[in-house]
Structure 1
Amino acid sequence: MEEEYLNDGKLEVEIHVEIMKMIGFPRKGLRSFGEEMKQFSDVILKVEDRKFYVLKLYLSSQSPYFATLFLGQFQESEKLEIELKDVNPHDFQYYLEVIYAEDAIDDYTVEGILEIADMYETPLAIKKCEKYLIIESKMEMNKKLELAEKYRLEELKKVCQKPI
């Protein structure tokens, strides 16, 4: 058994891990959208157990979805607190950071940001994610191509399909 698994007396192991849930934020210096931003906000977006204090007008300028929600003829446009369903609060934090011009995109956050940006029709965030995937990401090409297909990232798709 030693001959089969040991190489010069050393055991090499390759482990593949899928993180199912993260608690807290691993990055430092996150932009705050918490209660301390209350005086600078005009709406609270509730995502699961977290509250995000944001500006309706700014989000509306970034997303037709939010423009319709906040400025349209819906009862939500009058509410001070709106609950968003089917959204991961960590991904939503990173999404907000991106549209508020923070550097939140990395190989661990890009897919969650893309999912929310696609859901809320946010072209700026989608474009930033695509640019990151083309220029900086160390993801495997097949994963990049999968994201390109899923989120209609045409420039990334061209890069992924270009012969080497």
Structure 2
Amino acid sequence: MSRGFVKEDDQEETPLIPPRAEVPNGVTNYITKNGMDELLAEKQELIDEKGAIEAATEQEKRIATNFINAKIHLLEERIATAKIVDLSEQPTDEVRFGATVTLKIGNSSNFQTYQIVGVDEADIAKNKISFISPIAKILIGKKIGEKAILKLAKEDRIFEVMEIRY
């Protein structure tokens, strides 16, 4: 049927879904077991939310359902590509994916601790950084006492590995 015979009120916009954190092409989507558990819990929350939709009209319900379905679809794509890394198999004397690393930054006497995690798990407020972040990239392969240098526009920032935990 031609769109010319459809009432304007019947046309619905495709929901605009914010994208998930990007995993660059050709990069494996590594994730911790905890990160996978969080993705699966997020999926279940969306399914529960979809089942509890209350709307004044059928059109509002359809729009809300389409929005949640689109979010679930993006999430399922991410889950399907995720590769869980068993942290117990990581070398305990070297910074690798999943490591919780305590760092001395520059000449500061304060230490900072970060865990290197997957892109979906990264949350700087929880001291979790993505394995594709510049800091994680320079730390991978380092051992206790070794230094990594992050080249910034105006300076070089030196990170010294003080502790590694898995």
Fold match, TM over 0.5?
no
Structure holding more helix per residue: 1
Q: Which has the higher contact order (CA 8 A, sep 6+)?
A: 2
Structure holding more strand per residue: 2
TM-score for both structures, normalised by structure 1:
0.24
